[in-house]
Amino acid sequence: MTTSDYVLALDQGTTSSRAIVFDRKGGLRGVGQREFRQYYPRPGWVEHDAGEIWTSQLEVAREALRNAGVSAADLAAIGITNQRETTLLWERATGRPLARAIVWQDRRTAPLCEQLRRDGHADWLQARTGLVVDAYFSGTKLAWLLEHVPGARQAAERGELAFGTVDTWLVWQLTGGAVHSTDPSNASRTLLFDLHTQDWNDDILALLNIPRSVLPRIAPSSAVIGHAQPEWLGGPVPIAGVAGDQQAATFGQACFTPGMAKNTYGTGCFMLMNVGESPVASRNHLLSTVGWGLPAPQGWRATYMLEGGVFVAGAAVQWLRDGLGIIQHAEDIEPLAASVADTDDVFMVPAFAGLGAPHWDPYARGTLVGLTRGTTRAHIARATLESIALQSAELLACMNADSGIPLSELRVDGGAARNDLLMQMQADLLGVPVVRPRVAESTALGAAGLAGLAVGIWSNQEEFAGQWQAERRFEPRWPDDVRQARMQRWRQAVELAKHWTQPAA
């Protein structure tokens, strides 16, 4: 058991880099956060500067240590959690990125995905990877980079390039290029990973024309995989935990029993349900994914999840603030939305980047319907909040059907989970209690938990789960008929948003 009392969690998100120092009781001791630039070079394209991802993450890590009053010598380990599917390609010799990172929201590979579906590849790809064929995932983004960045394919064939999701990039940077690895949770989001063999799939690599040499090795989610170089934090620190942000949040919420589920309300909205040690094939257009891989005699043992993703959740509130100017600050939406009793039959479908599960329509676009002369900005604000809860309620219905396990409660986290009105809407639309934890930083806590388990901060999952505490429960108030009528009206609005930009036949 380690004698050090602290774990540093690096939480690299879509719009900001954060770092949190946790103690043995799961308490927050120091935090650092910095937003970074988003690039939108063309409609449907979203990019990040890979260098800024690294420098911002390093800066906030140092800030968190300062704020906690601890040094590298006090750290037992580093845990990393990251925006998933975002795709980076760099030179092994220099670490120089070949292009900006292609962000998970980016839709430039939608035509390639459509071609894969037309060619009859969708079903077998989903059977092997658990994922639907969609521009969301890393595989087609990597194929695009190899095809469109001058000289990339030739360099890749020579073994000179490294591909990674954001976790891989951070590990590479922290270790000075000594470690090129990912974990099962991130690997399972690439469209290149086989859920059944638990390895990269050579048939998929051939289909997408991706050389295996660019791919990282797959290490357990909870294991020492390398050490941060002393120059970064003031001393060498073991890197001992890695998981994609949504899987890390599920771990941080202690959803260790099949049937437990959490929903994270961030830029997007992501619901994951633990389904145990075997993957469940979805019949309702959800994703089957690895939650985490813990060390086992034969490498690692996977815990599997069903997942549904809402592409635009908190980002819709940002749009009200930045695009329409309806609110000045994101937190202004709650009192404004609460100033009216209902939406007056106004619905917002925030399909700004297409629709995710269960619709998977990259050609859908944002829609505001039901407007009358009586519609006010308060109604639009309330409809925007409700759209987050409605999209999540759709996902839960699919999960219940796929898993055969009715949910008894939903654990929630993320920035928008602090919005009491939204959480009550969610409980009303789900028909089950919504539970908000005392420690809201579930994503970073999950990364810290995986790292802490590897080095003995916590002796087992049960000890880690024992510190989870509820801060508030939101009980459902609506009868079934009201809830079902609202969901049916929502489905009507969604249909109006679908296929908006699809070329005419």
- Is the peptide bond preceding residue 362 cis, with omega within 30 degrees of 0? no
Select from 28, 25, 31 the least CA-distant residue to 11.
31
Please state, in angstroms and rounded to a whole number, the distance separating the CA atoms of residues 72 and 270. 33
Select from 478, 371, 381, 375 the least CA-distant residue to 425.
478
Cβ-contact 84, 137 below 8 angstroms:
no
Known binding-site residues for sn-glycerol 3-phosphate equal 14, 84-85, 136, 245
Say how many C-beta atoms besides its own lie within 10 A of residue 75's C-beta.
26
Known binding-site residues equal 14-16, 18, 84-85, 136, 245-246, 267, 314, 318, 415, 419
Amino acid, single-letter form, for residue 19: A
Any idea what DSSP says for residue 188? T
Select from 153, 167, 164, 106 the least CA-distant residue to 134.
106
Amino acid, single-letter form, for residue 15: T
Cβ-contact 362, 135 below 8 angstroms:
yes
Amino acid, single-letter form, for residue 205: L
Distance (Å) of CA 332 to CA 94, 404, 489: 46, 39, 27
201 Cβ contact partners less than 8 Å away, ≥ 6 residues apart: 128, 129, 192, 193, 194
Torsion sign across C-alpha atoms 213, 219, 221, 222? negative
Known binding-site residues for ADP equal 14, 18, 267, 314, 415, 419
Select from 377, 477, 350, 465 the least CA-distant residue to 423.
477
Cβ-contact 317, 164 below 8 angstroms:
no
The β-bridge partners of 19 are 10, 32
Please state, in angstroms and rounded to a whole number, the distance separating the CA atoms of residues 380 and 388. 13
337 Cβ contact partners less than 8 Å away, ≥ 6 residues apart: 378, 381, 382, 384, 385, 421
Q: Which residues in 277-392 belong to E strands, given as ranges? A: 287-296, 299-310, 347-349, 367-369
Known binding-site residues for glycerol equal 84-85, 136, 245-246
Please state, in angstroms and rounded to a whole number, the distance separating the CA atoms of residues 376 and 372. 9
Known binding-site residues for ATP equal 14-16, 267, 314, 318, 415
Element (H, E) at 78: strand 75-82
The β-bridge partners of 227 are 238
Any idea what DSSP says for residue 84? S
By the 10 Å C-beta count (0-12 exposed, 13-18 middle, 19+ buried), 259 is classed as middle
Any idea what DSSP says for residue 253? T
